[in-house]
Amino acid sequence: MFSKTCEYAIRAMIFIAQKTREGDRIGIKDIARGIDSPEHFIAKILQELSRKGIVQSAKGPNGGFYLDNVSMNRSLADIVRAVDGDKIFQGCGLGLRQCSESQPCPIHHEFKKIRFGLFEMLDNSKVGAFTDALEGSLAFLKR
Amino acid sequence: MFSKTCEYAIRAMIFIAQKTREGDRIGIKDIARGIDSPEHFIAKILQELSRKGIVQSAKGPNGGFYLDNVSMNRSLADIVRAVDGDKIFQGCGLGLRQCSESQPCPIHHEFKKIRFGLFEMLDNSKVGAFTDALEGSLAFLKR
DNA sequence: TAAATAAAAGATATTTTTCTCTTTTATTGC
DNA sequence: GCAATAAAAGAGAAAAATATCTTTTATTTA
């Protein structure tokens, strides 16, 4: 469904949110360990998200990644869009460029409903909201 | 959402269904042209589907691909499963192996609904059903 | 200012997906 | 049986996604 990149991104964001709630900044090594992802790979992903302002970072001692209030309220849809673009929310299910409302592909209308449901679900899932549900146990973020 | 391979497969199957309804077997070149896909690539895909009995084929003059009654009644879900496997219908949205009903990831339950909706939609879409809707115009199957 | 820390950036490697080309095998019609 | 047709199979090539390693830059603390 999502790319690996995107999965790591979501997991990392939830992980960072949790740590931020606990008052900590968190280093890339700990994030990689915490979500069981390749260290340098998740570093790259977070660099990109940092550039886009989806996550905050600070260099040097006591540095690391964290979320400000705006980032804490971002939705999973924002993350998916930042990483994978919005082809998953838009584009035709059969990959047809021409497909549109006026010239719909065979599954256009059905597909639209599914995609909208997916978007709504992700849009309603705020990064910061997961922390309550987790109650300190982050174990399940590891693959 | 789907892999390119899978998109081509679905388009080809709908195209072949149409031709079969018209009483023709259809060659790989015409299929490639008809759905605007790389010729050798779609050939590979159909070979695989042929081996799995999802599409029928005959060599030699007047040969080509076609659908028997069983294949005509296959659903898009069958095709997706044959090509991409059922990871899109099953696996965790965040790519977590451990994720399960008893130890759900943060978006497990929401995701389940979406995935089920997608499956139901594809399962209810029979390959042969599209031909009625198309009325001879296959133009939209080209990307 | 120096040392330590930690992200940013750049370069490279690996794997998977997508795509291409060539040869082989089966079938048909003459 | 021979020529023509068309899929099957095999072997790569190119591109994209995923992963790794090294160097650079910024920040903090002592």
The distance (Å) linking the CA of B50 with the C1' of D23 is: 52
Assess whether pLDDT exceeds 50 at residue A18. yes
**Tens of pLDDT along A52-81?**
999 999 999 999 999 999 999 999 999 999
Residues B134 and A18: their CA atoms lie apart, in Å, by 52
Where b means 16+ CB within 10 Å and e means fewer, A27-66 reads ebebbbebbebeeeebbebbeebeeeebbbbeeeeeebbb
- pTM for this prediction: 0.89
Contacts of A93 in chain B (CB under 8 A): 1-2, 7
DSSP annotation of A64: E
Q: What is the mean pLDDT of chain B?
A: 89
B141 touches chain A (CB under 8 A): yes
Other Cβ atoms less than 10 A from the Cβ of B136: the count is 9
Pair of tokens at residue B101: 């009903």
- CB contact, 8 Å: A84 with chain B? no
pLDDT in tens, B1-51: 899 999 999 999 999 999 999 899 999 999 999 999 999 999 999 999 999
Please give the pLDDT value at position B5. Answer: 96
Q: Which amino acid belongs to residue A89?
A: F
Report pLDDT for B130: 80
Report the alpha-carbon angle A50-A40-A119, nearest 5.
Answer: 50
For residue B44, give every residue at least 6 positions away whose Cβ sits within 8 Å of its Cβ, in sequence order, or none.
Answer: none
What the block records as the tokens of A11 is 């997991």
- Mutation site for B-interface testing, chosen from A98, A118, A127 by largest number of B Cβ within 10 Å: A118
Going by pLDDT thresholds of 50, 70 and 90, the confidence category of residue A136 is: very low
Whether A106 and chain B come into contact, CB under 8 Å, resolves to yes
Residues from chain A that touch B133, judged by Cβ atoms under 8 A, are 106
